[in-house]
Structures are given as structure tokens and as C-alpha cells.
Amino acid sequence: MRLQDKIAIVTGAGSGFGAGIARKFASEGAHVIVADIDTEAATAIATEIDGTAQTVDVSQSDSVRDMVTATMAAHGRIDILVNNAGVTHLPAALDSIGEDEFDRVFAVNCKSVYLTARHALPFMRTNPGANILNVASTAGVSPRPRLNWYNASKGWMITATRAMAVELAPDGLRVNAINPVAGETPLLKSFMGEDTPEIRAKFLSTIPLGRFSTPEDMGNAACFLCSDEASMITGVCMEVDGGRCI
């Protein structure tokens, strides 16, 4: 039980990697706030793992503040905050992405990290040993054509992780990231554009270990980084990518 009695907020935990992280955290003893814009999805996962469902739009300040307020009221502290909720745009030439689409990707992937910090840090600072995990992407390290602004948003998350880590270390807070390679989650379809056997095979050929990542892979990596076993680790952006970024 590596996360016994920890209070953990996981955003975007209604599906995909976030759900994998929430399930692993719960199996290691944490109480998970399953936070998602999709209330039904959050409720389903929260029910499964005996956590708390929280509807949130991570791109909206009031909504993030309400999530933090509700968590503090119910549990009195936040030990772990996982910024996982994310969106992408469809693969397209970088100058063809509309301004609304650009704003949406940066609001959900990047501004959210600022908003959760702004609202949760006043409480986390008084809780040494608390930590933050950002779910970035291999796309932020090794960008591929046509996912241009999504790649850039994930690169932003990686730099934000390091910037937050160096500033928060004196408070005893750690900040890390994981960089997943594509998994078979709803986002995969967006990455591939079209889901054909040929496109899948081409995609897989870029992953040396020869398989897509799974929500369980992310849960295992996240659990380690967010547990006391990683108490000397901060500012790390760990690839969970089957060698994709080698």
C-alpha cells in the first residue's frame, strides 16, 4: 500500500490514462477524487474504486476552485494532484488549425496546470511531501508533423514541470511528469487521423517495444513518482513510451 490514506485528485480520470492512474492509486490505498468534465464517466470510475466523483472543467478557474474547495471541505488536505485532463486537435497543417482550436488545446492542456496550481497550492504548501504529477506526452519531446500545437502544448507542460519543481522544492513539494506514448485510448484515434490496420502498423513501428501503452503502464509509473519511494525525485519528465524517444 504505497499510497495509504493519501488524498489524490486526478483530472481527466473518467477515461484512458487518467482512469488507469485513478485505479492504481486506489489499489495502493489512496482516496481518489475522480475529476472530469464528463460527470457520467467520473461517477462510473469513482463508484468502481470507491472514490469521489467531481465534475470539473480544468480550463475554467471557478470550476477548478470549486474542485479544490470541495476536496478540502471533505478531506482537509490534498496530498497528490495529477494534471491529466487533456485534449488534442485533429492532425492538420499547423497554419490550418483555427484560433478557437488552438485556444482550446492550450486552455485544457496548459492553462489548467496554472489553474490547479493557483487554487491548490495554498493548501499543498502547508502539506510537505505533497506532490504534483503532470501527464505530458512523448509529443512534447519528439514532435511529429500535423500534431504541431498539441506537441507544443505538451512541451509547455514539460517546461512547466521543471519550473514548478525548482520553485516549489524549498516548500518540500515535488513536481514530476510522465510522457506517455500513444495508448489505445479515445485520443489515439485523434492522433492517427484514421484508424486503419496500415496506419496502426506504421504507428507501432515507431515504438521499439512494439506495443501501444496502456492505462496500467501510466498507473504504475504515476504511482511510483507520487509515492514516498520517489521522495528524492523532482523535476523529472519520465518517458513511459516503450523506447519511442530513444
Q: Which of the following is catalytic: 149, 150, 191, 212?
A: 150
The C-alpha cell that represents 157 in the structure block: 507542460
| SS3 at position 174 | strand
Active-site residue 150, yes or no? yes
24/67 Cα distance (integer angstroms): 21
Per-residue mark of binding to ligand ADP, 40-59 (x: CB under 6 A): -x--------------xxxx
54/14 Cα distance (integer angstroms): 10
Nearest Cα neighbor of 11 from 43, 29, 33, 40 is: 33
Interaction between residue 37 and ligand ADP (CB under 6 A): yes
Sign of CA dihedral 87, 89, 95, 96: negative
Residue closer to ligand ADP by CB (options 58, 160) is 58
Segment interacting with ligand ADP (CB under 6 A) among 12-20, 71-79, 116-124, 221-229? 12-20
Binding-site member from 3, 6, 9, 15 for ligand ADP (CB under 6 A): 15
CB of 134 to ligand ADP, least distance (A): 12
143/244 Cα distance (integer angstroms): 11
Q: What are the residues binding ligand ADP (CB under 6 A)?
A: 11-12, 14-18, 36-38, 41, 56-59, 85-87, 108, 183, 185-187
